[in-house]
């Protein structure tokens, strides 16, 4: 847990001692939780070191922001474990010119990480209060290339399709065909698949002219994909 205490303000940079503590914790997170566990993409590591995860969390959870685990953000949803965010981002192989669709905005943290790696992020969240909070936080923190909308992620964002990459941060029981259809040929999708409370697997999909290539990459546990009734 982060401990934020007193410090000589004359010797600290803008933001004060609290900012220094968060920055130090973020560097340790990247070194010990992410790079040490095999994520080697320099651009992804730099993005993880740059994005202030604590800014996307309720105040009561901020002291835990850089620990190695998911945390509740309200409405039955969580902010993903930092390692999983980094792993999924690296697996997606984001390019500077990419347009990326995110299903499950949640806190907005994953979108913020992607923001510095790609041209545009289109993010969908079905829980309206979370979507509105994430949208406000992303705007407040200057992530201007992220668009957030309230909606059913299984339906995608058809008017903005096709996408170079799609990242799904909630688990459907099977990959929605609608999302496959909104992926460009040559595009990539990273998605956890499986039943609620049961075994789930993270899959990396690549779309080829002749069909989809599917690779299981990691056992995981995500909150379920919620659909409009």
pLDDT in tens, 93-117: 999 999 999 999 999 999 999 999 9
- Average per-residue pLDDT in the chain? 91
Tokens of 155: 């339906």
**Is the confidence at residue 219, as pLDDT, over 60?**
yes
- The pLDDT of 42-69, averaged and rounded, is 95
Give backbone dihedrals phi and psi of 114, rounded to 5 degrees, phi first. -65, -30
d(CA 60, CA 159): 38
- The pLDDT of 165-194, averaged and rounded, is 96
- The pLDDT of 48-60, averaged and rounded, is 95
- pLDDT for 223 equals 86
229 or 224, which is more confident: 224
Please tell me the pTM assigned to this model.
0.90
Residue 10 located in a structural domain? no
- pLDDT for 228 equals 56
**Is the confidence at residue 6, as pLDDT, over 60?**
no
- pLDDT for 23 equals 95
Residue that has been written with the tokens 């996408």 in this structure: 163
pLDDT in tens, 146-174: 999 999 999 999 999 999 999 999 999 99
Is 80 designated active site?
yes
Give backbone dihedrals phi and psi of 179, rounded to 5 degrees, phi first. -70, -40
- Residue 39 Cα to chain centre, angstroms: 15
Mind spelling out the 3-state secondary structure of the chain?
Answer: CCCCCCCCHHHCCCCHHHHHHHHHHHHHHHHHHHHHHCCCCHHHHHHHHHCCHHHHCCHHHHHHCCCCCCEEEECCEEECCHHHHHHHHHHHCCCCCCEEEEECCCCCHHHHHHHCCCCEEEEEECCHHHHHHHHHHHHHCCCCCEEEEECCHHHCCHHHCCEEEEEECCECCCCCHHHHHCEEEEEEEEEEECCCCCCEEEEEEEEECCEEEEEEEEEECCCECCCCC
d(CA 52, CA 59): 13
Residue 155 located in a structural domain? yes
d(CA 159, CA 201): 29
- The pLDDT of 48-65, averaged and rounded, is 95
The CATH number given to whatever domain includes residue 170 is: 3.40.50.150
Residue 84 located in a structural domain? yes
Percent of the chain with pLDDT over 70: 92
Residue 186 located in a structural domain? yes
Q: Indicate the number of domains in the chain.
A: 1
Residue 83 located in a structural domain? yes
Residue 150 located in a structural domain? yes
pLDDT band of residue 15 (cuts 50, 70, 90) is: low
12 or 74, which is more confident: 74
Residue 149 located in a structural domain? yes
Tokens of 158: 């058809």
**Is the confidence at residue 57, as pLDDT, over 70?**
yes
Catalytic residue among 9, 11, 60, 80: 80
- pLDDT for 2 equals 53
pLDDT band of residue 26 (cuts 50, 70, 90) is: very high
pLDDT band of residue 9 (cuts 50, 70, 90) is: very low
* Contacts of residue 15, Cβ cutoff 8 Å, sequence gap at least 6: none
- pLDDT for 11 equals 32
Which range marks the domain in which residue 187 is found? 69-220
């Amino acid at each position: 847990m982060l401990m934020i205490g007193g410090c000589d303000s004359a010797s600290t940079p803008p933001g004060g001692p609290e900012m220094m503590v968060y920055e130090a914790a973020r560097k340790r997170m990247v070194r010990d939780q992410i790079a040490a566990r095999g994520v080697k993409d320099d651009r992804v590591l730099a993005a993880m070191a740059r994005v202030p995860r604590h800014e996307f969390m309720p105040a009561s959870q901020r002291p835990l922001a850089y620990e190695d685990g998911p945390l509740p953000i309200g409405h039955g949803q969580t902010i993903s474990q930092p390692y999983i965010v980094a792993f999924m981002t690296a697996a997606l192989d984001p390019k500077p010119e990419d347009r990326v669709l995110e299903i499950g905005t949640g806190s907005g943290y994953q979108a913020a990480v992607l923001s510095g790696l790609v041209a545009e992020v289109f993010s969908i969240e079905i829980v309206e209060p979370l979507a509105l909070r994430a949208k406000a936080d992303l705007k407040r923190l200057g992530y201007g290339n992220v668009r957030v909308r309230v909606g059913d992620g299984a339906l995608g964002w058809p008017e903005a399709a096709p996408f170079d990459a799609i990242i799904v941060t909630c688990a459907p029981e099977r990959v929605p065909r609608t999302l496959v259809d909104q992926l460009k040929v040559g595009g990539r999708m990273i998605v956890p698949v499986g039943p609620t409370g049961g075994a789930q697997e993270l899959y990396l999909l690549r779309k080829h002219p002749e069909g989809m290539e599917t690779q299981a990459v990691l056992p995981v546990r995500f909150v379920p994909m919620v659909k409009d009734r």
